[in-house]
Every structure is written in structure tokens, then in C-alpha cells.
């Protein structure tokens, strides 16, 4: 299968259709944590590409990139390739026949994403020690299994593997203290046909621990709590640059202009 350059770009920058969960994300929710971690790690790599130090990653700082950042960002690319496969399958009206068949194919996808990342990073940061593929798979395989959807990615069932949350994702989870209060409307069917329902409804502001901090009538709710907010706009995970997740590659990012579409042989 041929993958367009925009799909295989490392690091991934387009996350607009990814279903993120609002933090804090509970332990064991592997799919949500994998998505959040992959986006955060990818942003860190993008910041490094945008502001490298003459081809050398800055060491000894909180923003230092390591093997975990690499492995998690590789999954970000593989995850996008996986979703592209889903689109093509829907277009062709075909679905992979079994979970094990899907795993074999996505093993190749992970390897391809790894190769792309190795090329992009080694061309820019000669002092970065690239981890082995087996190390990357310790996260990427379990993370890929966590985002598998039965009947959509493949037919049949899948015996999912897991990954080490402590090692690969917990470092990317935002500090609960940094998470702003969120507004929840209390359901009141007595207001269903009331033209002033928006002003009368009860709205509770809840903190990251799920505790109610205060409440308002709709008309008194502060403006900052009225708009629908994407999870990424609620808080910036630790070490995340304040930039758009859909930013275009700059002149200092790996260029795809002269590359050919990536081909993954699917047997």
C-alpha cells in the first residue's frame, strides 16, 4: 500500500481528527493515554526541528529528548498510517479478515514509521542515539492494539498486548493542578420548553478530581466557561511547546517535497 508523504511525515503534526480525552486520564485507559502521549512527544520533536542547535539536541535540560520520546512519536506516525488504511479499506469496501492479520500488517506499519523517523532524526541530530526497533515496539505494539476497533480496522477479535504506562505515557500526563475547571450543565427537564432555559439552567464547575467547586445560573456563567473547548486547549501537558497541532512544516523541518510515497508491502 502506498502512503502519501503527508501521512508518513515525522514528527506527526496533524491531529485534528483524533479523539482525545480530557485529562486527567485514568490508569489503564491505554488508548487515551497513548494518543495524548504521542501528540505531546510529536510536539516536542517538532519544536526540536524548528529550533535545533546546529544539528545537536540540547542536553541536560527539561526539554531533552530521549528514547521514550522517540518511541512514542514513532507510534504517532504509525497511528496515522493505520487510520489511513482504514479510510482506504472503507473506500474499497473491504476489511482485513482477522485481528491477527491486522497485527501482522501493522507490525510492518510500525517498522516503516520507525525507518522514517530514524532517517529524519539522524539527518538532523547526529548526536541522538536511535533506539532499536525492538525497544520502540515495546510501546508501539501495545499502543497500536489499544486503538484497534473491531469491525472497522479488521474483522474477528484481537488478543491485545499492553504497554508500560509508567515508562511510556505517564511522563506526558498533565499535572492536575494545571487543568482548569470545566463546566457541566445539570439536566433539568422542567426547562425543556422554557424560552429562558439557557439563563435558568444550573451549571457546575468541576475540578480535575471531579469535585464541584462552585455553581452558577446560566446567565451568570463567566464567558470563559461558555465555549466548547478541545481537550488540548484545556491545558498544556508538561514540556509541550505552545504551538498548533496542525502547524505546517517550516523551512527547518524535514522536507517531503522530494520524497516518493511510502510503500508498505502488505502480504
- pLDDT reported for residue 58: 62
Q: What is the average pLDDT score of the chain? A: 83
Residue carrying C-alpha cell 499492553: 162
Residue carrying C-alpha cell 498548533: 244
* CA 164 – CA 131 distance, rounded (Å): 17
Q: Which tens digits make up the pLDDT trace of 101-146?
A: 999 999 999 999 999 999 999 999 988 999 999 999 999 999 999 9
Which helix (H) or strand (E) segment holds residue 124: the answer is helix 99-124
- pLDDT reported for residue 256: 32
Q: Residue 125 in contact with residue 44, Cβ under 8 Å?
A: no
What is the full DSSP assignment across 134-188? HHHHHHHHHHHHHT--BTTTBSS--------HHHHTGGGSPPGGGSPPEEEEPP-
pLDDT tier at 251, thresholds 50, 70, 90 = very low
Q: Which tens digits make up the pLDDT trace of 175-234?
A: 888 888 888 899 999 999 999 988 999 999 888 788 899 999 988 988 888 776 656 554
129 phi and psi, to 5 degrees?
Answer: -85, 115
Amino acid at each position: 500500500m502506498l502512503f502519501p508523504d503527508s501521512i508518513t511525515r515525522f514528527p506527526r503534526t496533524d491531529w485534528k481528527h483524533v479523539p482525545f480525552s480530557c485529562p486527567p486520564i485514568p490508569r489503564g485507559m491505554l488508548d487515551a493515554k497513548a494518543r495524548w502521549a504521542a501528540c505531546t512527544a510529536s510536539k516536542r520533536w517538532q519544536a526540536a526541528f524548528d529550533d535545533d542547535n546546529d544539528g545537536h539536541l540540547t542536553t541536560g535540560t527539561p526539554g531533552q529528548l530521549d528514547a521514550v520520546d522517540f518511541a512514542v512519536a514513532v507510534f504517532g506516525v504509525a497511528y496515522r498510517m493505520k487510520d489511513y488504511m482504514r479510510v482506504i479499506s472503507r473506500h474499497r469496501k473491504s476489511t482485513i479478515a482477522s485481528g491477527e492479520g491486522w497485527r501482522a500488517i501493522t507490525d510492518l506499519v510500525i517498522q516503516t514509521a520507525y525507518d522514517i523517523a530514524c532517517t529524519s532524526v539522524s539527518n538532523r541530530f547526529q548526536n541522538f542515539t536511535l533506539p532499536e526497533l525492538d525497544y520502540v515496539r515495546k510501546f508501539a505494539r501495545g499502543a497500536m492494539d489499544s486503538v484497534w476497533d473491531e469491525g472497522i480496522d479488521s474483522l474477528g477479535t484481537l488478543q491485545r498486548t499492553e504497554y508500560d504506562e509508567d515508562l511510556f505515557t505517564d511522563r506526558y500526563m498533565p499535572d492536575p493542578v494545571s487543568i482548569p475547571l470545566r463546566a457541566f450543565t445539570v439536566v433539568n427537564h422542567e426547562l425543556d420548553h422554557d424560552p429562558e432555559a439557557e439563563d435558568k439552567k444550573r451549571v457546575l464547575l468541576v475540578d480535575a478530581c471531579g469535585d464541584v467547586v462552585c455553581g452558577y445560573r446560566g446567565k451568570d456563567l463567566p464567558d470563559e466557561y461558555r465555549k466548547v473547548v478541545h481537550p488540548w486547549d484545556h491545558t498544556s501537558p508538561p514540556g509541550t511547546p505552545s504551538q498548533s497541532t496542525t502547524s505546517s512544516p517550516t523551512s527547518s523541518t524535514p522536507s517531503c517535497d522530494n520524497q516518493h510515497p511510502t510503500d508498505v508491502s502488505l502480504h
